[in-house]
């Protein structure tokens, strides 16, 4: 799945919850009963996606926080969203 981050809007479904720990974020799909682990960066991204909804805005924020090139961040977010969507952990439009 190839996603255009600038037009992408993301929702966290009600049956998905996540908790952030010191070195990881755990995402729980209550429908499947399965846990998914994310590293710190991915955990921060999903947290921002839940707050802001717009993948483009999240990319800008993460680029600002990390100092990493925006293009690379956009690619990482697109790949992460594709993966999370495939696992049923987010819903995407755009």
Partner 1 sequence: MAEPAPRRGSAALAGETPRAGAAMGVRFVGDPLPGLSPDAPATELPTTAVIRASFAELDERWAHAAAPRTAFEIPYSTGAPFLRVESDDAAGYLIWADGYGLHLVSSDGAELRSALPGGPAWVERRLLASQVLPLVAALHGREPLHAAGVMVAGRLIALTAPSGTGKSSTACHLVAQGGGFFADDVVALALDARRVLAHPGPRMVNVPESELAGLSSAERARLGRSLGVGTGRYLEPAAPPPARPLDGILCLERRPLATPGIAPLDDVAATLLASAALPHFDRPRRLLGQLEMVGALERTVPLARLRVGAAEDASRVAHRVRAWAEALA
* CA dist., res. 80 & res. 34, Å (int): 18
User: How many other CB atoms sit within 10 Å of the CB of residue 79?
Assistant: 15
DSSP 15: T
* CA dist., res. 60 & res. 67, Å (int): 10
Identify the residue among 1, 4, 6, 37 touching partner 1 (CB under 8 A): 37
Gap between the terminal Cα atoms of the chain: 12
Stretch that binds partner 1, among 14-22, 49-57, 58-66, 71-79 (CB under 8 A): 14-22
Can residue 13 be called a binding residue for partner 1 (CB under 8 A)? no
The smaller minimum CB distance to partner 1, of residues 1 and 21, is found at 21
State the minimum distance, in angstroms, from the CB of residue 35 to partner 1. Answer: 6
Question: Residue 16 belongs to what H/E stretch?
Answer: strand 16-20
Identify the residue among 6, 13, 30, 91 touching partner 1 (CB under 8 A): 30
Stretch that binds partner 1, among 21-29, 49-57, 60-68, 82-90 (CB under 8 A): 21-29
């Amino acid at each position: 799945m190839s996603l255009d981050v600038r037009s992408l809007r993301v929702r966290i479904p009600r049956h998905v919850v996540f908790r952030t720990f010191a070195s990881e974020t755990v995402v729980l799909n209550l429908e499947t009963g399965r846990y998914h682990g994310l590293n710190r960066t991915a955990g921060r991204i999903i947290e921002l996606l839940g707050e802001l909804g717009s993948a483009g805005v999240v990319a800008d924020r993460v680029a600002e926080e990390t100092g990493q090139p925006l293009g690379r961040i956009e690619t990482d977010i697109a790949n992460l969203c594709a993966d999370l969507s495939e696992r049923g952990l987010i819903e995407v439009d755009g």
